[in-house]
A and B are shown apart, each in its own frame.
Chain A
Amino acid sequence: MVAVAALVERNISLDTLETEALVRGENLCRVFGSGVDRITAVQNVSLDFFRHQFCALVGPSGSGKSTLLQLLGALDMPTAGKVWIKGQLLSDFSETQLSDLRLREIGFVFQSFNLSPVLSAWENVEFPLLFRRELGARERRSRVARVLDSVGLADKSHRSPHQLSGGEKQRVALARALAGQPSLLLADEPTANLDHDSGTAVVHLMKQLTREHGASCIFATHDPELMGLADRVIEIRDGMIAGEAITPDPLSRERLS
């Protein structure tokens, strides 16, 4: 736990640490099935993620990265253990409260983009914002325009997903995830369906935009090259943390030390 150690070195108490951790998982286990079909996807994982981190979860296919992301993103509940987001224990939340938490605090980017084919790029980005009642129409449109501009798709905003390339679709998905200005961006294998260049460009964009938005990002990948872009790398193997490293990213180092 290098990040924790770094904070401890700065004489920050563990109580403060709990409140400062953006996401905290404690003894997380996720088991699927029962009897002979029982599969333990995540076992005894404890970790903390802090603000402004750009973190990669790495490991082979089936190692439990996606399941861990789903637990941290309030999409799934652990069989055992607890998850806190901004100090709030998720198991205390109702289904509606979890929806609201995801709407306001978490952005998701999926491997297969998961865009609605009947909505344009603009509408895909705008759709979740419709459910943010505090946002007026003007603010909503302004956010969509800004975020589409920032992913370089301002001129293609009227296009349907089938009129966009894979990289462009993933940029729309990234725009959708960031339009709500979440604290946490979770991306599950965001480059798996993209060619190398597009994938690298998307991860660079994710890193740049999460920093601009002041968000943290956790993304799952098994591409060694993309790990180098992260300022924290956690290796998952057989559902457990097999190792962790801080990469020499100047900005991250500056924040952690």
Chain B
Amino acid sequence: MKLFFALAVRNLFRNRLRTAVSLLSIAFGCAALIVNSGIVFNIFRELREDAIHGRHGHLQIYRRGYSDGHMMDPERYMIAQSEADQIIRIAQRDPRVMRATRRREFTGLASNGGRQAPFIGIGVEAADDYEFSKHTTLVAGSQLSSKTGYGILAGKGLAEKLNCHPGDDLSLVSTATSSQMNSVHVRVEGIFEGGLKEYDDWTIKVPIPVANQLLLDDKTEQIVLLLHSTAEVKAVEADLQKAFRDDGLDLEIRTWNQLALFHNQVVSLFGRELDVIALIVATIVILGISNAVGMSIVERRIELATFRAVGVRPRALAALLVTESGFAGVIGALIGVLFAIGIARVATAVGIPYPSPPGSTRPFRGGIDLAISTLFNSFIISVAATMAAALLPTWRAVRVSIADTLRKS
């Protein structure tokens, strides 16, 4: 079959200009698929990291039934101090867990003199907050720390509503778990931008001791974990479930992507868009290449009729023509992959400036993420499209009358 493949390759380079144009078409198509996917995956990654390092962490641990029932009966799903310590100890035994922290969510009313605004409070361990908020931008003031005391961080939108700045005092009023109203005075330590407008418009981060003072208990609502690697989320979740069960704890674990609804909606929407782009590029390659393949077949019609005359079966002739296209696809797609890698490296080094995405509060500078799976899929799609482009001209070529073709020669 060496000669069969040699013939396919040599036929490919019979008309070098046409082949070059075809190869460039395939290469551009393949590179377009990779670059487009790389840009979208980069945006997905930014959103994912925003969700993990800005809001949700990798895993959140609650008392079982929390997700469905805590709105109706929040007290029932609170975790006692000692139990929270036990959960954190178990979680930190796993070397894949980088950090574990407590959180508590509550709602209330913040006032700055004459201005008032409802807020969503997040009680955080001040010493851990920086690590869990790396994708949160501090636009004014300073981060929370173990020395913060009554300092809080306010979302940018909420700070604007309250007209407060770092150093200003605020009053926070909330309903304690015993149903009585309570208030604390806090000082604005810093103002942050978390990426999501709704988040920035409503959120105040409060050290847990302050939250406990406001809510008149020492309970925790959730334990949030940061892992060393996002890829380990599922495995750690499964192992922790077992470890908690073994220790007699009935807990519910939710992963970041179960919580990051905005991220999931964007991935779902743009994921579909990626499929459509792949289809469009494949169609363009098929239409562009089929014309070139058709021209090549028309030019060689006498030779192909001669092959049929000397006994080459129609199916074998079709295999030859599709193999030629396959070689073109492989060469073109390889060029496309190399081209895309070059573009990705340059674009990532320089950075692509983006405006704020829908629902987000800040522009960002992205790059092009190259995944082996993207390179492989784009390569396969390009080769398949090129081979598909040969099908119709090939089908026509093997159906023409040998006698007619030879007679016209």
Contacts and interface: CB of A to CB of B under 8 A. Distances in A.
B165 to A, nearest CB: 78
Contacts of A123: 3, 6-7
Interface stretch (B82-90, B205-213, B305-313): B305-313
A88 interface: no
Interface string A204-236: 000000000000000000000000000000000
Nearest to B309: A108
B3 A126 contact: yes
A75 interface: yes
Contacts of A106: 311
A103 B306 CA distance: 12
A104 B313 CA distance: 12
Helix, strand, loop or mixed for chain B's interface? helix
B263 to A, nearest CB: 54
B1 A118 contact: no
Given A66-B407, A76-B403, A99-B314, A119 B308 contact: no
Contact of A118 (B7, B302, B311): B7
B310 A95 contact: no
A36 to B, nearest CB: 20
B406 A127 contact: no
B16 interface: no
Contacts of A112: 302, 409
Interface in A79-102: 95-96, 99-102
Contacts of A110: 306, 406, 409
Contacts of B313: 96, 99-100, 131
Interface in A31-62: none
A102 B7 contact: no
A200 interface: no
Contact of B311 (A67, A70, A103, A119): A103
B97 interface: no
A99 B308 contact: yes
Interface residues of A, number: 33
Contacts of B309: 73, 75, 102, 108, 114
B14 interface: yes
A142 to B, nearest CB: 16
A201 interface: no
Interface string B396-408: 0000011100110
Contacts of B10: 118-119
Contacts of B312: 99, 103, 128, 131
A114 B407 CA distance: 12
B316 interface: yes
A176 interface: yes
Given A116-B7, A126-B3, A96 B315 contact: yes
Interface of A: 66-67, 70, 73, 75-76, 95-96, 99-104, 106-108, 110, 112, 114, 116-119, 123, 126-128, 130-131, 176-177, 180
Interface of B: 1, 3-4, 6-7, 10-11, 14, 302-303, 306-316, 401-403, 406-407, 409
5 contacts: A96-B313, A102-B309, A102-B311, A130-B4, A131-B316
